[in-house]
Every structure is written in structure tokens, then in C-alpha cells.
Structure 1
Amino acid sequence: MIGQTISHYSIVETVGRGGMGVVYKAQDTQLGRFVALKFLSKKFRSDRRAIERFRQEARTASALNHPGICTIHDIGEYHGQPFIVMELLEGRTLRQQLCDRRLTIEEAIACGIQIAEVLGTAHAQGIVHCDITPANLFITEEGRIKLLDFGIAQFVRASCPEESSTVHAKATHSTLTGTVRYMSPEQARGRDVDARSDIFSVGVVLYEMLAGQLPFMGADFRETIHQVIYREPEAVRNINPSIPVDIEMVVSKCLEKRPERRYSTAAELQKDLMQGVMPSKAVIENHGAPSALAHPSAHVPQLMDSAAETQEQTSPSLMETLPDWMTHIAK
């Protein structure tokens, strides 16, 4: 499709492929800006469920207004092919970063704070993401975490626009969809989920960033599901003793098997992560930012599914913005 013009979007290059979709860089000929065009793969164009998930992704993300969520500009169809027009992101996914090297403790906490912040916005609108994984977390060149792929997000009943109103709400339906190693026990059982399910998944991501390995690593699908539901993970400080005790407690609370024992809201999680990062603030201000994330730039917008990663490309350091971020949250 390179060189074609679809509506008023001129396709420039392919920037990512996944199992369910392909993403192109395109120029908006009316506004003179570059955007990302995301098409559903040909093999899914007669799959009504896949098409609905594709459209739901656009509807859900467009309902949220937050710098940590990829902006949806438009949705359309070209010769029977549905496509989404979205913000063109430059950087790399957290998965790509973790494949490169383990984050420092400060970097991991900074990522966790931003993830909790954007989740708070989604939960306040009654949206449970249901697939929080490093593949669906994008680090921009400015060090901003972007939450991607709302394709399997579920809506919960909320009586008011406050995040806390979604705490005990239940999704209208549930099926076993998502990424198994990052699922909450209730999601792995195919039960209804609420905001606390996402908080469990954030705990898995935090554990991976801090320990350099996943808390649940079964040899196959069945064993992994069993571990998620029944097995307590090894304490993260047993793997990385330099992790502060307070941060280990945060991770452990996120990974409680019973939802009522976890953080009730993403705001509570964010608050505890902020408190945990404060002891490192003086070190960062006196000695500069910790080791930076690799930074050659790339255009890598979100793909349809977390199972298939985008091209391995790099972005500027998250830590280049960390001192200012920490100064801001300390006020």
C-alpha cells in the first residue's frame, strides 16, 4: 500500500506488523502532519469478532483524554478494509526495552507511577484495560508512558465519574482473553473483572521490571494459569535485594490473589509508588539521572495484539525526564 492515498492520508512506509494488524506511517494531506494508519490483517477481515475488537479499540481509546493514551483521530474503511487513524508515536515498547536490559529501580518506579496515573483515568471512566503488558506500554522519546491496545477492554458500571466508583463494579461479560502471564487470577478463571484486575497486572509488570523475570513462568499454558491462580510468587527482594522494602510491599499488595486485598484504586497504588521513590530523589538530584534507556528513535505505533511485537527499535531515555518528574511529584 506504500504510495497509495486513502481518503486524505498518503501512505509513506510500513512501521509495524502484528498477528492481527499492520501499521503504516502516513501523511495527512489536509493538515500536513504525519499519523499512523492501522489496518486489520486480511485474514481477519471476515471475522466479525476481530472486526468488533478492532472498532472497540478505537472507540474506547477515543473516549479517554490523557497524555498517556494514544490519540485516535479517525476511523474509516477502504475497499472493505477497516482502519484507524491515530497519533504517530516515536520510541519503543517497554517489552523492547526489557529485552535490551533490565531497568534500574528508579526507572521501574517512574514507569509504575505513570502507568498507575493513566490507569486511574481509564478506571474513572469505567474502563478496565484487561491486557496490561510490556508490549502494550510504550515509552515515547519524551519519557512518557503510553498505554496501548484497548481491544479487549471491558466496561464496568460507574455511578459517578470518580475512580473509586468502579472498584466493586463488575464487567458486563468476561471471557478468557488477554496475555496469560499478566492476567489476574479472576481473569484467568474467566470471571468478571474490575479495576483491581488491572492493578494485579501492573504488579506483574512492576515485578518484571524490578526482578528481571516474571512472577509466573509455567512451562505451558495450563501450568502458567495454575500458577497465576494458586501459586504465591517468590518475594521480589529475594531476586533483587537492592529493591527497597517499601517497594516490595507495593508489588506484593498488587499481586494478592484476592482482589479485596489489593489496592482498591490506581490512585492508591500511585501514591505508594511516589512515597517509595522519594528516598532516591536526593541521589538523582545530586548525581544525575540513573543510567539512561537506549535512544535511537523510531516510529512504532501500537499493533493489534500484544502477542506479536513491533519491530525492535529504540527511543531516548525515560530517565532524561525523571529528575523533573520526581521534583514535580514531590511538591
Structure 2
Amino acid sequence: MAFDPLTRTNPTLKNPNVLEGTLAYMSPEQTGRMNRMLDYRTDFYSLGVTFYELLTGQVPFETNDVLELVHCHIAKHPIPPHQGNSKIPKAVSGIVMKLMAKKAEERYQSAWGIKADFGMFSQLEASGTIQNFLLALKIFLTSFKSPRNFMDVKRKLKLY
């Protein structure tokens, strides 16, 4: 069995009554309630919250109750930005929601993937509209060894 540092539980002991960081932007794994190691993908979640706030004018979970906010980050899904503001393209909303996925494995796995998807918006300058596209498609295409693998992953991708 191979060792996978991304799925290993966090062996450090922390005081469960102390949360570090800005709660409104905290990833589910940062709450200390998920028994997961932190890695760079926690920053992608926080980036998603930042984009969410920039697009909507509010953070995804608004509450003054610390425990409720922790619960929201772990278990509740925010309203996608495009549903709150029809001027936000679904593709942009999809990127934000992917960044804010509850499980780190479902978020972007690299900054290159985020950049590649935002690069799809260059079509906006040419056509004035943003067409739907498969999120993280370029990342997946570079990792396939056979057409069968592509079809397996394509079924799991969401079109935005």
C-alpha cells in the first residue's frame, strides 16, 4: 500500500476550542473537525470565498455564531453566485463553487487548473459572451493515458 500524504490524518494535537484564521474564509479542514491534514488546497477554498464575496457583495455564510459558521463550512453549500445575480455567468459561478468544494479532492488540484479555466474567458473579449465549458478539462486531458479513462472522467465533470 502506497503512502499518500494528502489523505493522511492530521497527527498534531490542537486545542479544539481555539480556531485560527478568519472564520468567514476558513476551509472545512481548517476547522479541525474533519481529521484531515491541511495542504495548499485549503487556500483554494479561501480564494473561492474571496471571489464569492467580490461577486456577490457578501460572504457565502453570514452568521455571528462561531459554531454555526463552522457547521456551514463543513456541511452547507452556499447559493451559487449566478443564482443570486443573473449577471454573473454560470461558468464563473462554477469556478467559484469548485474552489469552495467541501472535500479538498473535489477542488482544483493546482493553480494551473484555476488559471486554465479563467483563461477560457478570453472568448469574452472576442464574442461578448462566455460559453459553457467543462471545468478543469485541460487538467484532466493532460492526465489521460487512454480514451476509456477520458470517458470515465467526463461522466464526473460538470458542465458550466
Which bin holds the TM-score, normalised by the shorter protein?
A: 0.5 to 0.7
CA positional deviation for 1:280: 2.9
Q: Which has the higher contact order (CA 8 A, sep 6+)?
A: 1
SS at match of 1:252: helix
Aligned mate of 2:28, from 166, 185, 194: 185
Distance 1:172 1:201 in 2: 23
Structure 2 counterpart of 1:212, which letter? Answer: G
Say if 2:60 and 2:78, in contact at 8 Å, map to a contact too.
yes
Distance 1:245 1:257 in 2: 19
Q: Which runs of 5+ in 2 are unaligned?
A: 129-160
SS at match of 1:216: coil
Q: TM-score, normalised by structure 1?
A: 0.33
Residue identity (%): 34
Matched, 1:280 2:124: yes
Larger relative helix fraction: 2
Q: TM-score, normalised by structure 2?
A: 0.64
Partner of 1:100: none
Matched, 1:228 2:73: yes
CA positional deviation for 1:169: 7.9
Say if 1:173 and 1:192, in contact at 8 Å, map to a contact too.
no
Say if 2:56 and 2:85, in contact at 8 Å, map to a contact too.
yes
CA positional deviation for 1:223: 1.2
CA positional deviation for 1:219: 2.8
Q: Bigger radius of gyration, 1 or 2?
A: 1
Residues 271 and 174 (structure 1 numbering): CA distance in 2 closer, same or farther, change over 3 Å? farther
Q: What RMSD, in angstroms, separates the aligned Cα atoms of the two structures?
A: 2.4
Residues 174 and 180 (structure 1 numbering): CA distance in 2 closer, same or farther, change over 3 Å? farther
Partner of 2:53: 208
Matched, 1:254 2:114: no
CA positional deviation for 1:220: 1.6
Matched, 1:196 2:34: no
Matched positions, count: 117
Say if 2:7 and 2:37, in contact at 8 Å, map to a contact too.
no
Q: Which runs of 5+ in 1 are unaligned?
A: 1-166, 285-331
